Structure 1
Amino acid sequence: MATAARRTQGSSGSRATKAASTKGARSAQKGAVANTPTLSKEEELYAYREMLLIRRFEEKSGQMYGMGLIGGFCHLYIGQEAVVVGMQMAAKDGDQVITGYRDHGHMLVTGMDPKGVLAELTGRRGGYSRGKGGSMHMFSKEKNFYGGHGIVGAQVSLGTGLAFANKYRGEDRVSMTYFGDGAANQGQVYESFNMAALWKLPVVYVIENNRYAMGTAVTRSAAQSDFSKRGLSFGIPGEQVDGMDIRAVRAAGARAIEHARSGEGPYILEMLTYRYRGHSMSDPAKYRTKDEVTRMREEHDPIEQVRRRLLGEWQVPEEELKAIDGKIRQIVNEAADFATNDPEPDVSELYTDILL
């Protein structure tokens, strides 16, 4: 899935908005400055394909969960697609990704096979952890994806460790460490910030602020709700980014990654984003209004923004975009067939990969 567009470092662009609504729910879109960074036609098409793959994959995952084919926990990434796609477009080969348990999109955009990811969700032999782990226990060293982690905030210290290893070994790699607004209040996050700043480690901390963590608004849970400032006492620069706009994410990602790669140490990007579904499939999300979700979908959807530009600015025929959607649906449907019909792991598999 990797293309030249993904490796582009990105143009400079505006730093994103710091607006807040009267109810305290911060919006990534209010107050955005005019000089929005641009993407080429090829980059827009790449972003469209990658985000659409995540969207269709997550829609299928939700459907299969409702059918009882996926058990346990299932956290969907619908609405947040621009964050990981934009960051990956700014990354280089060898850069690492580590995140929490809302991780299907991160795996797909690093190039992991949709069949293997979905088979893991359904507990099948062909899954990335042989059907034993589900969302929270998938890794691919080959794709530089170091896991979605079920312990809130744990990936931050692990991602910092990746950055330490990179510097210790003299490798030209950056650790992109993702976590949410809920994890941002964890103590281990600040221990990691301190070490990363002290040793100038090549790590970019990407805070995916979707406003509600597990179901509590940031204004009710965080004394300092501008998460881009959380590293100031350690001397870590940060900025807020419109996480619903792929252009802003790619540009900010390029700045942050270059800062970390050049030896200047860690950088914080607060991605102001939004999840359309509940925290997990079992969450009815009654802590927000349907009107709020509808407004975000209609006015700020990351995929629809790209689609409009492709149709308008780049004059891409609508039939071509429909064909892209059709191919992606085929990929996802094939993954679903595999994940449904692949055998379950043998009982003996319970005793493999066990470390004492």
Structure 2
Amino acid sequence: MSITGRLIINLQLRNIARNIVNENRCLSSSSIISENVMKLEESVQEHELDTFENTKSSNDNNVSSTQDDRTLLNYRYAYPEFLPDPNMLHRNFLREKLERQDMLARRSNIEIPEFYVGSILSVTHSDKHAPGKTNRFLGICIFRKGCGLRHSFILRNVIDKMGVEVLFEMYDPTIQKIEVIRLEKRLDDELFYLRDAPPEYSTFPLDMEPEYHPEGMPIRINDMKITLKPPPWTERWERRQLEGVVGVMDLVNEKRKIKAGLKIHTKPWEKYDLMKMYRETIPEEEQKAIFSEIQTKLHELELHRHKMKRSRSFVKPKKTG
């Protein structure tokens, strides 16, 4: 083989080797790039997963905190006596805190159940003039008022065709037992119109048996509509926006109908008075602070009540024969 031919073959082999090296470089670089891309995708997926878990945990925390806030705010309906007087002239933060401690101490000695206006209660209290030194009264709750240790409620019943109303101080030391016979609500916040209603709406047997209400179930709202007796009444009920009374306008004369239609007694501008609303209510932040302070103690009292109820319901078997 001539020298020229050998040179041509060497050049061709060199070109082939160079191409192979270039291809290997390209392959190695492409593999490195693909590996880098895969690592980048994995890191992005891990970051997205961490972000999703953090978002989910934060959402769960927000939901749980929202539910806790709702639970605390729902205490204002079951335990309205723990809220202070909204009038700032009557506020004393030290006295309110001491009163809450006294109320919890009283609740540890006597069971004070949850009830509302419209619930039927029986109250057993000490009475030195009674034959057994105790007296028991059963009736429907028509009104609740007061704050702190001054909280009170009124029970009404018709006994021997005579309407009887008794005002009880909730934290009166003479009260021995408060029992809920029927747990329910009414359409109105006050039931004073039962004084001018037929007696059958306020008549309840004194030996009425308690009705079972499952734990955790919503409170039933009694949407019963009643009719009043003809005037005279204790109040001008035609001027009140009552949801539990029907046929009021049919029982009054034309003059009273005209005055009720003119709504002279109403004050429609009060719904725009923000300062009046502020003075008559307790801010939600303060309500949360108050009920978060007593929530633990109330929960402990509730657990103790359930435990005592189970122990009372157990009947030890007796030996026979």
Normalized against structure 1, the TM-score is what? 0.23
Larger-Rg structure: 2
Higher strand share: 2
Q: TM-score, normalised by structure 2?
A: 0.25
